[in-house]
Amino acid sequence: MRDLAWATAAELVAAYRAKLLSPVEATAMVLRRAEGLNPELNAFCLLDAKAANDAARASEARWQRGEPLGPLDGVPVSIKDIILTKGWPTLRGSKAINPDQPWNEDGPLVARLREQGSVIFGKTTTSEFAAKATTNTALCGVTRNPWDLARTPGGSSGGAAASVAAGISAMAVGTDAGGSIRMPANFCGIYGFKPGGGRVPMYPPTPYATLAGFGPMTRTVMDAALMFSVISRPDSRDWEALPYDPVQYQDNLAADPKNWRIAWSPTLCGARVDPEVAALTERAAKVFESLGAKVELVEKVFDDQRDLMHKLTRGLTDYAFHKFTPAQLSVMDRDLVKRIEESRGTTAIEHFDAEMQRAQLARQMNEFHQRYDLLLTPVTCVPAFDAAGDAPEGYGAREWYPFTPPFNLTRQPAASLPCGFTAKGLPVGLHLVGPRHRDLLVLQASWAFEQAAPWLARRPAVAERSF
């Protein structure tokens, strides 16, 4: 059963098809591990054994009839506590949200997973309103990294990353408006894919929608492709979503790297990168050279975009929280409240000035991708740091992650690929960015890297326990 914990979603489905395993057995294992490891990891804010077992039994019956609903029928999946999930509170990591509400609607992504027969078994922890790059809140406490319980799994999808890294389930759903899928995947040694903007429908509407992407957090690229094929299906509630592309991503991962022109940027915009992170990501970039791709060093891609992200999100934050009462603000994270207060009074001129700068950045990246198919960088400047902190020693609050937010501004697809470990045994990820609307290319490049430099052999010690 311990080995079953490390089965991929693709392997689970193959075992169901061959009648070697039942979704009921797989779900029972997931629930045992979740309940056993959560006191240490704090990766889940909600587990629902009854709902999960009911869904697993229904899936088992379909497989016995040879009538699965889709490619993820019977696969246990967790949902980040930012996304609406019918029957469960979506508290967004905050005491400011009233749990006593109907909660009678699934978000598009959750609806697609249910339609395909996935077993949704719980909700994972997030930073409050997904607003910072670590996962510790007054509502849920501190979420911890399976590789070192004293360190953060990153944020805001920290619970999702920790759960997958610990062998609880093969896949989880995360959200990313500044790196919230990619940074936790990087810190926890799993694969995290942020789809391009508009590719996965979202609802309800949010001021941050043009920055955000909802996507898979898995142990393999194949599993991410399987989930992406499901969650990218259309939903009429998102009027800004891209037209549906019916490609089955898991069937189209093979590609020839010899055709790729790749830019390797070790600092992107002059970032100060930890020497071990720099060495591991440079070595990973050379894997693409070994595959035949043309890899070129590009020291600087654009100017530091942190100020632009700050200016843009000031206006979004002012609007997003303008109806919050003093009573709600009084129970929220003080740093978040400070940001909200600082955003008050942002003018339309200030906001649209930021939007015009954003348009210039997007144009710059469109032109960049006329020369290069893909861009490689580190994911963060440092490996995982203290679980209770918001920044590593020697770095400012936003200084340690300059690599991921620009590609939320430009709405490009991007991924974090496990590429090695520091001397202290902490995972490091390689950041892979593709052009707008080229999600398949990012998955293909990720797949090629995984085949050349497999990453599944090493597991965190805490995850080797049996339950």
pLDDT of residue 397: 87
Active-site residue, 59 included: no
Q: In sequence order, what DSSP letters do the residues of 179-193 get, joined into one string?
A: STTHHHHHHHTSEEE
Helix, strand, or coil (residue 122): strand
Domain count, the chain: 1
Q: In sequence order, what DSSP letters do the residues of 220-278 get, joined into one string?
A: SHHHHHHHHHHHTS--TT-TTSPPP----GGG-----GGG-EEEE-SSTTT----HHHH
Q: For each of the chain's 467 residues, which pLDDT tens digit applies?
A: 458 899 999 999 999 999 999 999 999 999 999 999 999 999 999 999 999 999 999 999 999 999 999 999 999 999 999 999 999 999 999 999 999 999 999 999 999 999 999 999 999 999 999 999 999 999 999 999 999 999 999 999 999 999 999 999 999 999 999 999 999 999 999 999 999 999 999 999 999 999 999 999 999 999 999 999 999 999 999 999 999 999 999 999 999 999 999 999 999 999 999 999 999 999 999 999 999 999 999 999 999 999 999 999 999 999 999 999 999 999 999 999 999 999 999 999 999 999 999 999 999 999 999 999 999 999 999 999 999 999 999 999 889 999 999 999 999 999 999 999 999 999 999 999 999 999 999 999 999 999 999 999 999 999 988 88
* DSSP code for 8: -
161 pairs with which residues across the strands? none
Q: In the structure encoding, which two tokens stand for residue 232, read together?
A: 């990218």
Determine the structural domain holding residue 246 and report its residue range: 4-464
Q: In the structure encoding, which two tokens stand for residue 229, read together?
A: 């094929």
Active-site residue, 194 included: no
pLDDT of residue 1: 45
Helix, strand, or coil (residue 280): helix
pLDDT of residue 2: 52
Which pairing describes strands 119-124 and 76-80: parallel, antiparallel, or unpaired?
parallel
Residue 306 has a CB neighbour count (10 Å cut-off) of 16
Which pairing describes strands 213-218 and 294-297: parallel, antiparallel, or unpaired?
unpaired
Active-site residue, 323 included: no
Distance (Å, whole) CA 55 – CA 120: 8
Q: Which amino acid is at 111?
A: A
Active-site entry in 22, 156, 265, 416: 156
Q: Which of 148, 174, 176 is nearest to 161 (CA)?
A: 174
> Are 121 and 31 contacting, i.e. CB atoms less than 8 angstroms apart?
yes
Active-site entry in 22, 59, 78, 80: 80
80 pairs with which residues across the strands? 124
Distance (Å, whole) CA 348 – CA 345: 9
Helix, strand, or coil (residue 417): strand
Active-site entry in 180, 265, 343, 416: 180
The CATH number of residue 67's host domain is 3.90.1300.10
> What's the whole-model pTM score?
0.98
